[in-house]
Amino acid sequence: MSVRSENKIVRKRIRVYGRVQGVGFRYLSMTAAAQLNLTGWVQNLADGSVLLEAQGEREMVDRLIPVVENGHWILIERKEEEWIEPVEGERSFGVRR
């Protein structure tokens, strides 16, 4: 029995720009990540952008930003995304300070 490629664990680094700090972006990221069974982290950066890494099944990782983007007051103007190597042993999604 072969494993479908969609079920492979992947990791994506995403940097978002716009109205993304002070509007619940990190909280919504944590909530959505839990619902999507993702691990990783989210962090505000000094320039006003937010950086996050999300890990899990590809379909779920791809759903994270659209779910968060539906939050009130959040306005993503631009994002940079890249697939990176998964992190072994990561068990949760949290906020980095």
Going from the N-terminus, what domains does the chain have, and what CATH number goes with each? 9-85 (3.30.70.100)
Is residue 75 over pLDDT 50? yes
Kindly report, residue by residue over 41-66, the tens digit of the pLDDT.
Answer: 999 999 999 999 999 999 999 999 99
Q: Are 92 and 39 in contact (CB under 8 A)?
A: yes
Element (H, E) at 65: helix 58-69
Concerning whether 37 is annotated as a catalytic residue, the answer is no
Q: What is the pTM of this model?
A: 0.90
Q: Comparing 7 with 49, which gets the higher pLDDT?
A: 49
Any idea which residue has 């539906």 for tokens?
70
Is 44 an active-site residue?
Answer: yes
Place of tokens 């950086």: 51
Residue 86 is classified by DSSP as: P
Going by C-alpha positions, the residue among 78, 61, 79, 76 that lies closest to residue 20 is 76
* Catalytic residue from among 13, 19, 44, 58: 44
How far from chain centre, in Å, is Cα 56?
10
The two structure tokens encoding residue 48: 């006003």
